[in-house]
Amino acid sequence: MSQTYDKVALIGLGLIASSMYWAMKREGLAGEVRGYARSSETRDVAREIGLCDSVCDSAAEAVRDADLVVLCVPVGAMGAVAEEIAPHLKAGATVSDVGSVKKAVIEAVGPYLPDNVNFIPAHPLAGTEHSGPGSGFAELFDNRYTLLVPAQNTPQKAVQKLRELWEGIGAKVEEMDAEHHDLVLGVTSHAPHLIAYTMVGVADDLRRVTDSEVIKYSAAGFRDFTRIAASDPTMWRDVFLNNKEATLEILGRFTEELFALQRAIRTGDGDLLHAYFTRTRAIRRGIIEAGQDTDAPDFGRVKK
Ligand code: NAP
């Protein structure tokens, strides 16, 4: 794979930025990568583990001369970071981000950026429940989708270059508009996270089942919820506050369906339950056939 950008700046050095760095290095896609994180603790860890070719003490220094700047901070911090870096951006540079919400990020970042840079928002649909500079790994994006959300007037050449970077680090790339992105992710990621947070919270509240029983007997269902519910609190607070509309719409639908299933259980409507679970099983099959998860029992945790 050949180099796509000469100088890249990663602002925020957590799971996504560190995975991007290791993957770019693996593929030789960037000449020089500079990183910046808000706290000196994170910058020190980054230097210790060799994350980025150099770690700068200010965002301004990191973005100077960069051909690509990627904002890898929580959604709620994107606007302030854009304001800070805007005066230091190189003319013709591409500014992108990896935020899990797109409409709110575009509204927060767009107004600060000068006309002579290309803003191409992006969202890699890949992650884990871990965070911080030590949590990244080069394979994170392999075979996962990254959605690009370019404005209509963005030069095709700039979009193509960013696409090549993401494809180079293993992702499948598609373009989508911001509003649709937020609705799709509301269904596939944001609402499920809220439901997982709620389920784990409920188990914690059920005093008839002790905490130690919940942990000791955690079966596949609950255990899988706990993994999702261990995700970074700051990131997820910001996701819900910034994708309000779509999340609330989907939770409304979710509540209606939950009531329907609750009623079926109360009235003994086994046919409804069976038909419902048959439909959901087909959705799971579709995900496996699309290569987006493993077919191994218990997500491959059971050794054959
Ligand atoms: P992370 O591991 O928690 O790292 C976040 C980084 O942002 C840290 O370096 C942190 O600096 C910095 N930061 C936090 N608050 C900040 C602020 N107010 N101002 C400036 N910098 C700040 O996060 P991540 O998982 O990589 O997520 C980064 C972005 O990717 C988020 O927008 C998230 O929505 C998106 N995303 C995440 C996932 C996922 O599964 N994790 C998947 C796709 C997209 P310090 O360490 O110095 O505090």
Eight-state DSSP code of residue 219: -
Greatest C-alpha distance within the chain: 67
Among protein residues, the one with the nearest Cα to ligand 1's atom 18 is 77
Question: How far is Cα 155 from Cα 153, in angstroms, rounded to an integer?
Answer: 6
Q: Report the nearest atom of ligand 1 relative to the CA of 100.
A: 34
| pLDDT (0 to 100) of residue 6 | 96
How many residues can be counted in the chain?
Answer: 304
Question: How far is Cα 1 from Cα 3, in angstroms, rounded to an integer?
Answer: 7
| Separation in Å, CA 220 to CA 91, 103, 205, 302 | 52, 35, 20, 11
Q: Report the nearest atom of ligand 1 relative to the CA of 76.
A: 18
pLDDT in tens, the chain (304 residues): 688 999 999 999 999 999 999 999 999 999 999 999 999 999 999 999 999 999 999 999 999 999 999 999 999 999 999 999 999 999 999 999 999 999 999 999 999 999 999 999 999 999 998 999 999 999 999 999 999 999 989 999 999 999 999 999 999 999 999 999 999 999 999 999 999 999 888 877 776 666 677 777 777 778 888 889 999 999 999 999 999 999 999 999 999 999 999 999 999 999 999 999 999 999 888 888 888 887 887 777 665 4
User: Taking a C-beta distance cutoff of 8 angstroms, is the pair 119, 110 a contact?
Assistant: yes
CA of 74 to the centre of ligand 1 (A): 4
| pLDDT (0 to 100) of residue 283 | 87
Among protein residues, the one with the nearest Cα to ligand 1's atom 23 is 14
| pLDDT (0 to 100) of residue 224 | 85
| pLDDT (0 to 100) of residue 296 | 80
Query: In the chain, which segments carry CATH 3.40.50.720?
Result: 5-176
Q: Report the nearest atom of ligand 1 relative to the CA of 41.
A: 47
| pLDDT (0 to 100) of residue 209 | 64
CA of 73 to the centre of ligand 1 (A): 4
What tokens appear for 13 in the block?
A: 């050095």
Sign of CA dihedral 182, 14, 28, 31: positive
CATH H-level, domain 180-268: superfamily: 6-phosphogluconate dehydrogenase C-terminal like domain (1.10.3660.10)
Among protein residues, the one with the nearest Cα to ligand 1's atom 6 is 12
Q: Report the nearest atom of ligand 1 relative to the CA of 238.
A: 34
CATH code: domain 5-176 is 3.40.50.720
Helix (H) or strand (E) holding 205: helix 191-205
pTM of the model: 0.93
All residues at 6 or more sequence positions from 38 whose CB lies less than 8 Å from its CB, including other chains: 12, 73
Strand 94-97 with 118-119, pairing: parallel
Question: How far is Cα 85 from Cα 25, in angstroms, rounded to an integer?
Answer: 24
3-class SS of residue 125: coil
All residues at 6 or more sequence positions from 243 whose CB lies less than 8 Å from its CB, including other chains: 100, 101, 103, 104, 182, 185, 186, 190
| pLDDT (0 to 100) of residue 1 | 66
Query: In the chain, which segments carry CATH 1.10.3660.10?
Result: 180-268
Residues with CB under 6 A from ligand 1: 12-17, 37-39, 42, 72-75, 77, 81, 98-100, 124, 127, 131-132, 232, 235, 239
All residues at 6 or more sequence positions from 44 whose CB lies less than 8 Å from its CB, including other chains: none
